[in-house]
A and B are shown apart, each in its own frame.
Chain A
Amino acid sequence: MPQDLAEVYRTTYRALVRFLYRKVWDAERAEDLAQEAFARAVVHKPDNARGWLFIVAANMARDDARRAARERRHLTLLTAEPQASEPAADDALHVENERTRVRAALEQLTPRDREVLLLWDSGVSYEAIAAQTGLARGAIGTTLARARRRLVEAYEAGQRGEHVARG
């Protein structure tokens, strides 16, 4: 069993971090949560470790998001202006901007569509997505089609909005 888990770790860790990152948007935090999920798996020894890990990770991310939301409310009171003066390299800034746009677009999806899309993008199969979300397996394709379309639309709408705002 521990050998199996080590193997699952090798094959699943990055996918789990990827999945978690789109939920907490903080690489360190995503890695912490992923490691904690694995630590729990060591204790619980689930039969289907991979599926189990994604479920636990989703729950942890949800709790984490609630906590973060509380903290953010305090922070917005403290930070008056975004630190526009920070001298970031153009590339890094660009990557960061893109990430922010994708994040904003993802947030316009319904929670269920988003969950299915993120799970798929982390390499989870239709079968396992169905098991995790409670959707019928036959509905996953439709859900993914909708989620993908909305993501692309929301992202492009965001870009248009930005160009308009810039003048």
Chain B
Amino acid sequence: MRAVKEFFDKLAKNETYVKIFKTPFTYLTGAILLSIFQVVTFGVTGEPWGVSGTFANWGAWLYRLVGGNVDRWYYFSSAGAQAVLDRGFFNDPGTMRNLGIIFGALAATLLASQFKIKKIKSKKQVVAAILGGFIMGYGARLAYGCNIGALYSAIASLSLSGWVFALFLFIGAFFGSKLLSKFFM
């Protein structure tokens, strides 16, 4: 046990380890890595990077699991959407990517030894989190994408829609921050 502790104490002070796993990357490094990986995911899966659309599919699969049927829902009515649902959870690139993000984030915070279960400070936080999550998720589906699918991937694909999305994202963020300072300051 002592040898193990010594090893980890030494590792925590190792310059390269600290640089890669502990200190946050600069925005520039992050941007370059994101750009590379969105090209990779586009090349491998044949579709641009998206996040929130997959969550709607997770919801549909969960609903199917309890005996529900979404075949006649307008959102899932296209042949493409049906094909994705029929291929299933484990054959969906978006699912693998999102699981990768979740477990990757967990791994990153553990490697930096920054994992912490945060306490909930007030009921206000709970209400804001649930309400905010619902509005964001619902809005992302109405817009056919979130800040990844409709903004990042759209702009990377030279689509004008990404810039339109960006403009309204800023307007939304402006009013969002007004609400934030009104209720949380």
The answer to whether A and B assemble together is: no
Residues of B within 8 A of A (CB): none
